[in-house]
Amino acid sequence: MTATVIDGKAFAAKVRGQVAEHVAKLKEEHGITPGLAVVLVGEDPASEVYVAAKHRQTVEVGMASFEHKLPADVSEDALFEVIDKLNADPKVHGILCQFPVPDHLSERRVVARIDPNKDVDGLSVANAGLLASGETGLVSCTPLGCLMLLRDQLGNMSGMNAVVVGRSNLFGKPMAQLLLQENCTVTIAHSRTKDLAEVCGRADILVAAVGRAEMVQGDWVKPGATVIDVGITRIPHPEKPGKSKLLGDVEFGSASNVAAAITPVPGGVGPMTIACLLANTLTACCRSNGLPEPEGLTA
Ligand SMILES: NC(=O)C1=CN([C@@H]2O[C@H](COP(=O)(O)OP(=O)(O)OC[C@H]3O[C@@H](n4cnc5c(N)ncnc54)[C@H](OP(=O)(O)O)[C@@H]3O)[C@@H](O)[C@H]2O)C=CC1
Ligand SMILES: Nc1nc(=O)c2c([nH]1)NC[C@@H]1CN(c3ccc(C(=O)N[C@@H](CCC(=O)O)C(=O)O)cc3)C=[N+]21
């Protein structure tokens, strides 16, 4: 079997188009422009690339983009002062602090400082709790993007066996909650899971978010499964000196011979993450203004 390759890049462009349409309507009918603020601490090259992409796409869909670049040695107090200002700013509907942050800062404390209504990363305890309780909050962008791809691919997921490899707060846990909400039978695997290959082999939906390049082999995959590859590992390009290459957590070649559908890296889940960040900012803006939410862009 040769799997369908799920085109996340094209799907993300479609999502951004829907966001742009809704943003235009908000401006025209209500004079409101949704705004996203991104805080970057230090000079991590990968983070700079992501933040630049976020800024460009935010502007492209007609939203206001606010960037705050702080030095690597910024104190917690100074960072919190910036976050407090953004919390209070009515032009800002979404706030994201790019991770990782330098070691002297705590991601947990940074997230806790952001107003949960503006927490477009969905990482706050309030938003994680709302998701776990089946209530309405803001959902972490990458799992939301994976959900959109799965709904498009499979429609009804009720009764399917879903395996999520990875249990981070940013991805694995919220992904598992979303699949549970879709009535899947969900297994969460991690570094202590025994016989991971066998666990993966039971999955109708296999989601890998580990950060170990090409760990999931083709013979771990159930024939006909849908495989979502979240992992991103950057390695020096084997042929082009000075360039880098991205690898997923799934060995694409062997897995695509067994799966029914699979996301590639790059061009799969990654582009959906930024599209969903914009979707979440729009959702947060609509909620804070008491306006109806965009359809099809929330969990
Ligand atoms: N495409 C995108 O938009 C995004 C991609 N990513 C990528 O996804 C990957 C995961 O990210 P994130 O969740 O933040 O990472 P974390 O490092 O926070 O979590 C990794 C998870 O993988 C588990 N794990 C580690 N080694 C193994 C192993 N040998 N077998 C089984 N499980 C293992 C860990 O288990 P344990 O808990 O037991 O330690 C942990 O739960 C990374 O490559 C990251 O770059 C992340 C976010 C967005
Ligand atoms: N607070 C916070 N929230 C995040 O959501 C967050 C974060 N910090 N820190 C880093 C990770 C990683 N992440 C990605 C975003 C886009 C792509 C993406 O667009 N990837 C493209 C390729 C990009 C490239 O070529 O480098 C693709 O896979 O096709 C990937 C990964 C968000 N993260």
**For 213-250, what is each residue's pLDDT tens digit?**
999 999 999 999 999 999 999 999 999 999 999 999 99
Quick one: average pLDDT of 275-281?
A: 98
Quick one: average pLDDT of 167-192?
A: 98
- Helix H or strand E encompassing 174: helix 172-181
Residue 1's pLDDT band (cuts 50, 70, 90): low
**For 98-137, what is each residue's pLDDT tens digit?**
999 999 999 999 999 999 999 999 999 999 999 999 999 9
Single out the residue of 211, 137, 133, 139 nearest to residue 169, CA to CA.
139
User: Ligand 1: which residue has its CA nearest to atom 6?
Assistant: 231
* 166 in a labelled binding site: yes
Ligand 2 atom at minimal distance to the Cα of residue 234: 26
Query: Phi-psi category of 61—alpha, beta or left, where left has phi over 0 and alpha has psi -120 to 50?
Result: alpha
Ligand nearest to the CA of 170: 1
Q: What spacing in Å lies between the alpha carbon of 65 and ligand 1's midpoint?
A: 29
Ligand 2 atom at minimal distance to the Cα of residue 9: 29
Single out the residue of 60, 105, 118 nearest to residue 79, CA to CA.
105
Is the shortest distance between the CB of 234 and ligand 1 below 6 Å?
no
Ligand nearest to the CA of 229: 1
Position 257 scores a pLDDT of 98
**For 28-40, what is each residue's pLDDT tens digit?**
999 999 999 999 9
**For 81-99, what is each residue's pLDDT tens digit?**
999 999 999 999 999 999 9
Position 221 scores a pLDDT of 98
* 234 in a labelled binding site: no
Would the pLDDT of 11 be above 90? yes
User: Ligand 2: which residue has its CA nearest to atom 1?
Assistant: 98
Ligand 1 atom at minimal distance to the Cα of residue 233: 43
The proportion of the chain whose per-residue pLDDT surpasses 90, expressed as a percent, equals: 99
As a whole number of Å, the CA-based R_g of the chain is 19
Quick one: average pLDDT of 286-294?
A: 96
**For 137-176, what is each residue's pLDDT tens digit?**
999 999 999 999 999 999 999 999 999 999 999 999 999 9
Catalytic residue among 18, 57, 119, 121: 121
Position 297 scores a pLDDT of 97
Position 18 scores a pLDDT of 98
Q: What spacing in Å lies between the alpha carbon of 93 and ligand 1's midpoint?
A: 29
- Longest Cα–Cα distance of the chain, Å, equals 56
Q: Go through the domains of the chain in sequence order and give each one's CATH number.
A: 29-124+272-288 (3.40.50.10860), 141-271 (3.40.50.720)
Would the pLDDT of 280 be above 80? yes
Position 3 scores a pLDDT of 98
Q: What spacing in Å lies between the alpha carbon of 30 and ligand 2's midpoint?
A: 32
Name the average pLDDT for the chain: 97
98 is catalytic: yes
Q: What spacing in Å lies between the alpha carbon of 190 and ligand 1's midpoint?
A: 9
Task: DSSP for 73-129, please give it.
Answer: T--HHHHHHHHHHHHH-TT--EEEE-SPPPTTS-HHHHHHHS-GGGBTT--SHHHHH
